[in-house]
Amino acid sequence: MQMAKIKTGRISHSEILKSTATLFAIGKNDYADIELFNHGPFFLDCLQLSRDEENLLINDIEVNTFWTNLTENAETVIKLYHAHGTSEQFHSELKTDLDSERLPSGKFATNSRLFLLAMLAFSILRILGQAALQMKNALPRKFNVQRRRLRSVIQDLIYIARKRVRHAGSILLKFGRHCPWFEVFQKLHIKFC
């Protein structure tokens, strides 16, 4: 990936505060709101542009601004920013795949405990999913991914059709004759139990 020239340096807190205060003063706090002003006569007068020149300026310029207190160099900060989608996906999986979008209680302590249990389940399922991907010969199909969504791990390894049987003081799990995930399940059981 070729990076454009990056201007580095410190922006003082007062400059950030001034620009933010100016936006709030005109009642705008979002880039999308500010975009509405770009085609107005005030914007064109300030930049001394005609209507024809406006199209050349607005459509050809893209600016990415990163304000951070990280001590890494600019390239590292940009790479971290572009990787934030992965973090968002983990958050989405925790909420949707483990059904913790709405917590059931109005009490903070109860919700805190439930959320801790959800995080524990999330971590266990992630470990199972990653360990299953390393068993390339046992997998019923080929996966060209670095990790699997929790929903897929739950559907493939947790929802396997099986029957719990008590016999001679033992508890056994009986699987169907043609269970494609049995070998993976068995290897994970041996590895972690």
What is the mean pLDDT of the segment spanning 72-97? 83
Cα–Cα distance measured from residue 149 to residue 168, given in angstroms and rounded to the nearest whole number = 39
Instruction: Tell whether the model's pLDDT for residue 121 goes beyond 50.
Output: yes
161 vs 41, 142, 178, 180, 193, CA distance in Å?
A: 67, 22, 10, 11, 20
Q: Would the pTM count as exceeding 0.75?
A: no
Residue 25: pLDDT band with limits 50, 70, 90: low
pLDDT in tens, 164-193: 999 999 998 888 888 889 999 999 999 998
Contact 95, 118 (CB under 8 A): no
What is the mean pLDDT of the segment spanning 30-34? 54
Residue 120: pLDDT band with limits 50, 70, 90: very high
Find residue 171's DSSP bridge partners. Answer: 166
What is the mean pLDDT of the segment spanning 79-89? 80
Higher pLDDT pick, 109 / 86: 109
Instruction: Tell whether the model's pLDDT for residue 34 goes beyond 60.
Output: no
pLDDT of residue 124: 93
Residue 92: pLDDT band with limits 50, 70, 90: confident
Residue 23: pLDDT band with limits 50, 70, 90: low
- Nearest Cα residue to 90 out of 39, 148, 51, 130: 148
- 85-110: b or e for each residue (b if 16 or more CB lie within 10 Å)? eeeeeeeebbeebbebeeeeeeeeee
